[in-house]
Chain A
Amino acid sequence: MSPALRRICALVRKEFLQVIRDPSSIAIAIVQPLFLLFIFGYGISLDATHVPVACVVDATGPNAREFIGGLYQSQYFSPRIYGSMAEAEQAMIKGDAMATIWIRSDFERQAMTGNGKIEVIVNGVDANTARLVQGYLIGHWGQWLLKQGATMGLELKPRIWFNAEVRSRNYLLPGIIAVIMTLTGTLLTAMVVAREWERGTMEALLSTPVTISEVIVGKVIPYFLLGMAGMGLSVLTARWLFQVPLVGSHWLLLAVSCLYMLAALAMGLFISSFSKNQFIAGQLAIITTYLPAFMLSGFIFDIHSMPTVIQWLTHIIPARYFVTILQTLFLAGDVHGLVIKNAVYMAGLAAFFLLLVARNSRKRLD
């Protein structure tokens, strides 16, 4: 065994002993991902069902009744009849109804000439839910129109690929795994290296014949394994507890996760290379990696909807590529072109950060 290899082995062994003695690293790598996965998995959902809708029907004919009656069949609505618009408006103000449907008394007569009007008021404060409710109503109206009125019409046959039940959890959870792994990877290395400086043991290490690159390799190996254990646990939880399908190949998932873990660890090392204090390193890790991974990675807010300048900004965030890969591997399968393209960007960023780390960390004590 060459001396360099022996030194690295010794460092790795030392690091493992430290992990076993001080379980805070295990807490960051294993407990934290599970805690976050539970909170996000149960807490974040964009599926609005059984939305309370106030109905005011002044018309008496069968067509209006047909329209309202259809709402009861839908899982999206839980309709309630109100006697007058004033009462319905009161319900909207109090938050008891998300939307009001108003069919006026002249509806039947107007409808026969094709000029009927079904009026809808939605509470627009929560714009996304309002849009979804509006969309459900439009879908309902389109079907009603085809069934009741028009002899000719266009029947839409939507097919939603990769997520036929349109369950938001299926796309949110893979994204959440990316966010969590970002936090775990950076926090692990950033805190551990900073701790070494704080306690003065880094200086002791530097006085030995180990080179700085050996120190870095000795740090990366154990925390890489620890981080991957957390990743594996998260994938299992998503798959079996939250029932997210995993269509793509497990090997490909493992390969890109390794690559991403490397990028996250490199970011952590980079942070620790200019902050030798655990507290600042921890805060920097949260502000510079966790928050961008949350807001700018496309995990919940679609990148295509952001302003152009912010879309550019997302390109320097490694989580963005990992989120795309994970969503694809979980739901769509092995789309090699897409996965490879994003993996190349991720590898590029990982190499960039590792290069910065190598430049920044020379053997010196200042």
Chain B
Amino acid sequence: MWTRVIALIIKEFLAILRDRKARITLIGPPIVQLIIFGYAATFDLKEVPYAVYDEDSSLASREFLARFEGANAFRKVAVLQKEDEIRQLIDTQQVLLVLHIPPRFQSRLTREGNAPVQVIIDGRNSNTAMLALNYVNEIAANFTLNMARQKGLSGPAAQLVVRAWYNPNLESQWFIVPGIVGLLTMVVTLMVTALSIAREREAGTFDQLLVTPMNPFELLVGKTVPGLVIGLFEGSIIVLLTVFWFGVPLRGSVPALYIGLLFFSLSIIGVGLMISSIAATQQQGLLGAFLFMVPAVTLSGFATPIANMPEIVQKFTLFNPFRYFLVVVRKVFLEGAGMELLLTEYLCMAAIGVVTLFTAALMFRRRMY
């Protein structure tokens, strides 16, 4: 029996890797995507363009505005003289925000103790708007604290000291790039397996397979192993690039990561083989892979957190293997987790893998007899 399976595995590898173009497609595009996405997929604010409309021009207002000029997150592009210039600048996206200091800022600050400052923000990208507003808030609160300490307090005052665990500078890259390990492993494994049976069917070789003494289980093993080897290989390359090119720290145990990668690849292979045994042509296989992949990526927490989704959609994500692998990869990379913290994720991925592989085998069987 095992000689038959090994022969099939060798044949599968040859079928996938025979063609030079196919070999390049397996390695080239994923790495290019990793590099481009690794740099493009960022939520970090950098040099937010802003304008200043200072109607007070006092010592206090200048002191307040100086705090923005010193900040890396901001870049001053204009100083306004009239209020109606604001609309034009924001509408055309030349600035993201305008700081408007009304007249009598200084006198209100010292006499009444409460001086308003208006911040007008372009909310077209609400995430960027919120992050920028947070920076402004921080600068304003520190300004208040400083003034209060200098001029005497009337009540208690405290500083807010924020530290971040696992990712001290809060770099998006540390969050996104380990996720890409899973994303690209999934894409490659799915492509290899989703097309494997459809390709045989199109070429007519599936009938030849059927007349061999192979049973569905042997066929399953023969089709699974190449996908697994290619998935693990691809995953390893991307892990290496994540660590050595992007400099994301790999703090946890490597075996814990690989156990996760193994279970994840198996569950994706199961899905791929299921798609493949339904599809009559490669084109249908491709379509099926796409139909699985889009929700799998969107509803995984890859770019946006699962906690932000509606309740029902959150329940739905429990069937998504990518969801679990993202937890594994992020916990191992950043939180330094070992296997004991990841048992639930392993178990869920293994369960999805068993169900999908078993179903795929049943579907071969139906096709065979």
In the assembled complex, the Cα of A118 lies from the Cα of B156 at a distance in Å of: 12
Within 8 A of B (CB), among A153-173: 153-164, 166-168, 170-171
User: Which B residues are CB-close (under 8 A) to A132?
Assistant: 130-131, 134
Stretch from B168-176, B203-211, B215-223, B237-245 at the A interface: B168-176
Measured CB to CB, the closest approach of chain B to A128, in angstroms, equals 4
Within 8 A of B (CB), among A136-178: 136-139, 141-142, 145-146, 148-164, 166-168, 170-171
A-side interface mostly: helix
> Taking CB as reference atom, which chain B residue is nearest A45?
B308
Kindly state whether residue A206 has any CB partner on chain B within 8 Å.
no
Kindly state whether residue B138 has any CB partner on chain A within 8 Å.
yes
Q: Is the CB of A141 within 8 A of B115?
A: no
Q: Is the CB of B156 within 8 A of A148?
A: yes
The interface size of chain A toward B, counting residues with CB under 8 Å, comes to: 100
> Taking CB as reference atom, which chain B residue is nearest A43?
B298
> Taking CB as reference atom, which chain B residue is nearest A52?
B307
Binary flags per residue of A291-315, CB closer than 8 Å to B gives 1, else 0 = 1000110101110111100100100
> Taking CB as reference atom, which chain B residue is nearest A331?
B124
Instruction: Name which of B64, B121, B171 has the most chain A CB atoms within 10 A of its CB.
Output: B121
Binary flags per residue of B50-92, CB closer than 8 Å to A gives 1, else 0 = 0000000000000010000000000000000000000000111
In the assembled complex, the Cα of A153 lies from the Cα of B48 at a distance in Å of: 25
In the assembled complex, the Cα of A51 lies from the Cα of B151 at a distance in Å of: 36
User: Which A residues are CB-close (under 8 A) to B29?
Assistant: 287
Kindly state whether residue B37 has any CB partner on chain A within 8 Å.
yes
In the assembled complex, the Cα of A151 lies from the Cα of B40 at a distance in Å of: 45
In the assembled complex, the Cα of A238 lies from the Cα of B298 at a distance in Å of: 18
In the assembled complex, the Cα of A45 lies from the Cα of B141 at a distance in Å of: 28
Q: Is the CB of B127 within 8 A of A150?
A: no
Q: Is the CB of B149 within 8 A of A154?
A: no
Kindly state whether residue A130 has any CB partner on chain B within 8 Å.
yes
> Taking CB as reference atom, which chain B residue is nearest A175?
B125
Kindly state whether residue A63 has any CB partner on chain B within 8 Å.
yes
> Taking CB as reference atom, which chain B residue is nearest A334?
B91
Q: Is the CB of B309 within 8 A of A161?
A: no
Kindly state whether residue A321 has any CB partner on chain B within 8 Å.
no
Kindly state whether residue A42 has any CB partner on chain B within 8 Å.
yes
Kindly state whether residue A84 has any CB partner on chain B within 8 Å.
no
Binding site for A on B (CB under 8 A): 29, 33, 36-37, 39-49, 64, 90-93, 96, 109-110, 113-131, 133-138, 140-141, 143-145, 147-149, 151-168, 170-172, 174-175, 282-283, 286, 290-291, 294-295, 298-299, 303-305, 307-310, 313, 330, 334-335, 341
Binding site for B on A (CB under 8 A): 35-36, 39-40, 42-49, 51, 63, 92-93, 107-108, 110-132, 134-139, 141-142, 145-146, 148-164, 166-168, 170-171, 278-279, 282-283, 286-287, 291, 295-296, 298, 300-302, 304-307, 310, 313, 324, 327-328, 331-332, 335, 337-338
